[in-house]
Structure 1
Amino acid sequence: MIKRIVSIVLALLVATVALVAWLNLRGEDGLDSPSPAPTADTVARGAYLARAGNCMGCHTTQGGAEYAGGRGIDTPFGTVFAPNLTPDEATGLGRWTEPEFWRAMHNGRAKDGRLLYPAFPYTNFTQVSRADSAAIYAFLRSLPPVSQANRPHELRFPYDSQLSLAVWRALYFRPGSFEPDPRQAADWNRGAYLVRGLGHCSACHAERDALGGSVDELRLAGGLIPVQNWYAPGVGGGDPARFAALMKDGVSKHGSVMGPMAEVVYLSSSHLEGSDVQAMARYVASLEPAEPVKRKSKGIDASVLDLGQRIYDKHCADCHGAHGEGRDGIYPPLAGNPSVQLSAAQNTVQAILHGGFAPATPGNPRPAGMPPFTHALDEAEIAAVASFVRQAWGNSAPPVSALEVMRVR
């Protein structure tokens, strides 16, 4: 009986290993197909597509050479360092072929076949077409080579092993390609291609489980950005004009982008053609809205709101207005501001603690900034003013506790 049980367990183990191996080897076709010689137009299109994917955002350190890698991406499992994408022979992509680059984009595998960590969002980039991947490759090959060795990742056990990564991929990743919806217009499909693929919007705007896998990523219903402690709100069903303004200019009449999204707008979306931004806005507006949060009637001491109002009048009203009305095109309104009224309070607390800085864009070249108050106010005071702002002028978001502020700080 014991031998039979052992045999069954071993058989299941072998079957599981075989399944994991098969799932990780899918999408390996096309590595031997030749690629056409790049033209100047191909390189220019690749530069535009690299902007759309915000490749420079991760593959450039502050003050470093563009695309030379070295930037650390903090994750709950450790730090992943972006590699050198310049055509340097020893440390960059100099010896990579176009099919090998396509395999990295489409199937998340390195030149030598190693599995890549999904901090490189190949779970989204697998949607990118072969032609667009080849154009990005041609652009990267046109860059001046920079000799900068790649830093090894600093991941905790067991996340630092290829076996763990293979299991993760078996659970969460399937190579695929974008399939246009014949029922939708061409601009809707263009927007869907950019949002799901190069834009990799679900990397932030979808909830993640304990192992870092996206939950219901096509809905873009919102989620907490790991480690950074900013909340990427749900975007489905919103006003397409507001979305387009935020993506193109970084500001709208309802507010401005801050935190990680400010960098995305500055480096990526503000450089996109208006037609592409409008297409993304149309697609996002068609998505199912996030479930409305059922806010519990949570009592708050009147003295806390009184303290919050006094702090607001002293530090905030000069810019945001006595009634949270803001100043059109300069300081965002707080009354009715969707970000202020999120169920999650992280963004409001982050702005008070560390300040708010919208990106400089062609449509908003001199954005106004908000100073940080992390040294001027303690946790109880920040909680009080955040609670006041989230409940004043018709806002109805839950109050903020000093403990929540401590967690964000």
Structure 2
Amino acid sequence: MSIVRKLVRSIRLTGALGAVIVLAGLPGQAQQQQAATPGSIVERGEYLARAGDCIACHTAPEGKVFAGGRAMPTPFGTLYTSNITPEPETGIGKWTADGFYRTMHEGRFPDGGLLYPAMPFASYTKVIREDSDAIFAYLRTVEPVVKKNTPHDLQFPYNNRSLILGWRTLFFSEGAFTPDPSKSDEWNRGAYLVEGLGHCGMCHTPINALGGNSASQAFQGGLIPMQYWYAPSLTSNKEAGLGDWSIKDITDLLQKGISNQGAVYGPMADVVFNSLQYLDDKDTQAMAVYLKSIAQDSPRAPVSQLTTSESSLLTSFGKVVYDRHCASCHGANGEGRTPHYPILAGNQSIQMQSAVNAIRMVLNGGYPPATFGNPMPHGMPPFSVTLSDDEIAAVVSYIRTAWGNTGTPVSAAEANQLRSVPPL
């Protein structure tokens, strides 16, 4: 990592704590790698809190950092995140390190009360005690904020916390991360971050009607409930996952938000902005190594709801729309201009079973996040006002089926349904 990047990161990340960022604790090696300076546990805790993306959920829009109150819509009602500043009456100022670890590891409040699984304790249970203590030490140094937690607004019977016991029986296995001795330290570090603090499986594993997921479908991708974004497969499948991606492609996407394979938008843009861009080069490399090793899945082939004649008309019309509005950036043949204007020909995210991401990008446009590695990102304009539902459906159908792409056409009704979804 360059000296300039370290300095810039230290200014944004540590403030008065200084410019030294030590590596987060490695499972099995953390004790040997901790610095001996008095402030090291706080600095390490701040780094780990970034890795866990705590700020994203526990900070409301326009709210104080870590003061909670962010609305989390779910199919069962709306949850509101809690105040985790060290304010003693409304935050976690009276908590102990033991109580905090219980929350992370067991999914229970210090008094034994059950947490709703919107808090990713099914992933955080893997966090080792030393790292939990470091995060807690850091949170004790942030600005205390007097802000009472907003009561959850859940439908009956989901407002009965005792039902969480059933969910936990089905979907929660308590236990800290255990390194695989047959794998390298780098692979184990990546597994720890991806499966634990990073809680990547919470979005990138299909979610069922009970709000849980199955280990047998881990990282195979799925629709994020209430957000109408599709988290793609992270497996090594070449048709739907990261099989054709290089380690550099993955690390670039994680740290910069763009790579020669594509760019991040929607919820993943927030993850890169708030969390992943701050990670050390060694950690993003380790995550990439682990992700490349995830076994291939067998993605379901897209199925079109349109007749052959409708599909043919749509794609023919779609080429006209594409040539008029898209080719100047993405190329006449979908070749793009990487990394700022993604390739569309052969792009897995364009061909996924779900077309929701492609439709939303055409409707709403957007920018990748501004990051240290890409401080002035190129954006895509919204076409929701410029193009009709028929035109949106036509151009998305075209890019999903042209140039050898194997996606399926989409209907104007699908485009219309997503018009009412607020841009993220």
Change (3 A) 1:300 1:102: farther
Aligned partners of 2:147, 2:415: CA distance in 1, in Å? 39
For the Cα contact (< 8 Å) 1:249–1:270, is it kept in 2? yes
1:243 paired with 2:250, answer: yes
> Aligned with 1:106: secondary structure?
helix
TM-score, normalising length from structure 2?
Answer: 0.85
- CA positional deviation for 1:296: 5.8
Whichever residue aligns with residue 405 of structure 1, its letter is A
1:118 maps to what in 2? 117
Q: How far does the alpha carbon of each residue in 1:139-162 deviate from its partner, in whole angstroms, 9 at most, with x for none?
A: 000111111111011111111111
Q: What is the CA RMSD across the aligned residues, in angstroms?
A: 1.7
Does residue 400 (structure 1) correspond to residue 399 (structure 2)? The answer is: no
Which residue of the partner structure matches residue 213 of structure 1?
212
Measure, in 1, the Cα distance between the counterparts of 2:103 and 2:177. Answer: 17
Residue from 286, 290, 293 that aligns with 1:286: 293
Equivalent pairs counted in the alignment come to 373
Decide whether aligned partners of structure 1 residues 156 and 326 sit closer, same or farther in structure 2, where only a CA change above 3 A counts. Answer: same
Q: Which amino acid aligns with 2:264?
A: V
SS in 1 for 2:351: coil
CA distance in 1, matches of 2:114, 2:296: 35
Q: Which amino acid aligns with 2:93?
A: G
Q: State the one-letter code of the partner of 2:342.
A: P
Residue in structure 2 matching 1:270, options 263, 277, 289: 277
- Say yes or no: does 1:155 pair with 2:164: no
Deviation at 1:96, TM superposition (A): 0.7
Following TM superposition, by how much is the alpha carbon of 1:328 offset from its aligned partner in structure 2, in angstroms? 2.4
Deviation at 1:217, TM superposition (A): 6.2
Q: How far apart, CA to CA, are the structure 2 residues paired with 1:390 and 1:300?
A: 16
Work out the CA distance in 2 between the residues paired with 1:126 and 1:292. Answer: 29
Q: Distance in 2 between matches of 1:356 and 1:396?
A: 25
Hey, what's the Cα distance between the residues in 2 that align with 1:352 and 1:290? 28
CA shift for structure 1 position 229: 0.9
CA contact (8 A) 2:302 2:354 kept: no
On the 8 A contact 1:195/1:280 being kept in 2, the answer is yes
Provide the C-alpha distance between the structure 1 equivalents of 2:226 and 2:124, rounded to a whole number of angstroms: 23
In the alignment, the residues of structure 2 paired with residue 209 and residue 350 of structure 1 have an alpha-carbon distance, to the nearest angstrom, of 23
Q: What corresponds to 1:59 in structure 2?
A: 58
Distance in 1 between the 2:71 and 2:332 partners? 41
Moved over 3 A (4+): 292-298
Greater radius of gyration (CA):
1
| Number of the residue aligned with 1:26 | none
1:295 Cα deviation (Å)?
Answer: 4.9
> Counterpart in 1 of 2:82?
83
Is there any run of 5+ residues in structure 2 with no aligned partner, and where? 1-36, 237-241, 420-424
Distance verdict in 2 for CA 1:140–1:217, change over 3 Å: farther
Return 213-222 or 174-183, whichever deviates more.
213-222
Q: How does 1:379-390 map to 2 (within 5 A)?
A: 379-390=389-400
Match 1:333 to one of 343, 351, 357: 343
Distance 1:359 1:156 in 2: 35
Structure-2 separation of matches of 1:393 and 1:211:
39
- The alpha-carbon deviation at position 325 of structure 1 amounts to 1.6
Contact kept, 8 Å, 1:206 with 1:217, in 2: the verdict is no
Kindly indicate whether the alpha-carbon contact (under 8 Å) linking 2:314 and 2:409 is maintained by their aligned counterparts in 1.
no
Judging changes above 3 Å, is the alpha-carbon distance between structure 1 residues 327 and 402 closer, same or farther for their aligned structure 2 residues?
same
- What percentage of aligned pairs have identical amino acids? 49
Within 5 Å, give how 1:68-147 maps onto structure 2.
68-147=67-146
Q: What does the per-residue CA deviation read over 1:238-293, in whole Å, with 9 as the maximum and x for residues that have no partner?
A: 22332211101111112101110000011101110010001011111111122144
8 Å contact from structure 1 (residues 98, 134) kept in 2: yes
Once the two structures are TM-superposed, the CA of residue 310 in structure 1 deviates from its matched residue by: 1.5
Q: How does 1:284-323 map to 2 (within 5 A)?
A: 284-295=291-302, 299-301=308-310, 302-323=312-333
When normalised by structure 1's length, the TM-score is 0.88
Q: How much does 1:173 deviate?
A: 1.3
Code of the aligned partner of 2:404: G
Letter in 2 for 1:271: Y
Q: Which amino acid counterpart does residue 356 of structure 1 have in structure 2?
A: G
Is the 8 Å Cα contact of residues 315 and 409 (structure 2) preserved in structure 1?
A: no
Q: Which amino acid aligns with 1:299?
A: T
1:9-65 per-position Cα deviation (integer Å, ceiling 9, x unaligned): xxxxxxxxxxxxxxxxxxxxxxxxxxxxx9410000000000000000001112221
Aligned pair 1:169/2:168, yes or no? yes
